[in-house]
Amino acid sequence: MNNQAQNVIDSPSNNTVFMVWNFQENKELKPVFERICALVVNLNNSAQVRSTGIKASIVMGISYHAWKKLALQEPLPKELVPFEPIVGQKHVAVATPGDLHFHIRAEEQSYCIDMAAEISDVLAAVADCKEEIHGFRYWDGRSILGFVDGTENPTGEDRAFFGIIGDEDQAYQGGSYLFIQKYIHDMNSWRALPVSEQEKVIGRSKTNDIEMSDDVKPANSHSALANVGDDLKIVRDNMPFGNIANNQMGTYFIAYASRFSTVIQMLKRMFIGEPDGNYDRILDFSTAQSGTLYFCPSIDMLKDFAG
């Protein structure tokens, strides 16, 4: 078995659909789950043929509770556990339910819509879609707050090292931990800040994306707290989304990691602070409304699940 990973380390595309599905009670889940695994493999294979240059792909994640409901392989991936809230003095990284997560992306929006429709057709009989977020690329890869997002992402071979499980869990080589959070931004308060103050919140220049020097960067800036070291990285694939008229603009935070413990360290620094109480200032403008951990099996494992 070569443990081919799903497309977890692809670069962000122009368009994305994120979907969270929860299983209904008292339903026969296994046949539908087998179909959805086969469909994900099929859609990815088809995308390689049909979407040259469009970079269409779909990644499926399975939560701890779904893994148990489906009675999948035991023992579970080493770090696949129910995500527990991380509670700071002022802000909380909430935990929300989710059974299956789909990350659908393509340069051309039509591919995203078609793949989401195929997934929905299969799952609708046994599950409810609790979240459907349509993300978009904003300028040169910026969040809707106006700053470049994902500057600290690993590049080259490091993307696979930090994003895909290797020898540390041989039964699940080629898999990846997926953690998601939906953030809603207080855009009115954010826009009221002068750019110089916004830069102190982020720890980087807004126009040119240059990191502040350590002697200038505030200790509670996002770049000071969200990065836990060059040897502990994650692959971010965040996307902006929202409704302008209703002031519901946000960021869908999505992280793929070979070790979920790295994500936990990052969240604790952001929400509890380093030291305690020195929380990430961006949380005064961005509220986490969801938080769920999933595991993305390798393509080979999806094929096994499909039967």
Distance separating alpha carbons of residues 96 and 45, to the nearest angstrom: 32
* pLDDT higher than 50, residue 147: yes
Give the whole-number percent of the chain exceeding pLDDT 90: 90
Share of the chain above pLDDT 70, in %: 99
Q: If DSSP codes are grouped into helix, strand and coil, which group holds residue 53? A: coil
Annotated catalytic, 169? no
Average pLDDT over residues 299-303: 97
Quote the pLDDT of residue 247: 86
User: Sorting pLDDT into bands at 50, 70 and 90, what band is 48?
Assistant: confident
Residue 7: pLDDT above 90? yes
> Are residues 34 and 307 in contact, defined by beta-carbon separation less than 8 angstroms?
yes
Q: What is the DSSP string of 75-113?
A: SPPTT------EE-SS-EE-----SEEEEEEESSHHHHH
Question: What's the pLDDT band for 229 if we cut at 50, 70, 90?
Answer: confident
| Tokens found for residue 284 | 């005064």
Predicted local distance difference test score (pLDDT) of residue 1: 41
Distances, alpha carbon 91 to alpha carbons 41, 85, 203, 264, in Å: 39, 10, 20, 15
CA-CA distance, 307 to 295, in Å (whole number)?
19
Could you give the count of Cα atoms lying within 13 Å of 291 in the half-sphere of its Cβ? 18
Residues pairing with 87 in the sheet: 92
Mean pLDDT of 277-296: 98
In whole angstroms, give the CA distance from residue 160 to residue 104.
19
176-226 pLDDT tens trace: 999 999 999 999 999 999 999 999 999 999 999 999 999 999 999 999 999
Q: Which of 121, 128, 140, 149 is catalytic?
A: 149
pLDDT at 12: 83
pLDDT of residue 51: 65
Instruction: List residues bridging with 251 in a β-sheet.
Output: 183, 240
Cβ burial, residue 298 (10 Å; 0-12/13-18/19+): buried
What are the start-end ranges of the E strands in 83-209?
86-87, 92-93, 100-106, 127-136, 176-185
**C-alpha distance from residue 169 to each of 78, 94, 259 (Å):** 7, 28, 10
Distances (CA, A) of 299 to 67, 173, 306: 16, 11, 10
How does pLDDT run across 240-276, given as a tens digit for each residue?
999 988 889 999 999 999 999 999 999 999 999 999 9
What does the pLDDT look like over 153-173, one tens digit per residue?
999 999 999 999 999 999 999
Residue 2 has pLDDT above 60, yes or no: no
Residues 144 and 129: their CA atoms lie apart, in Å, by 25
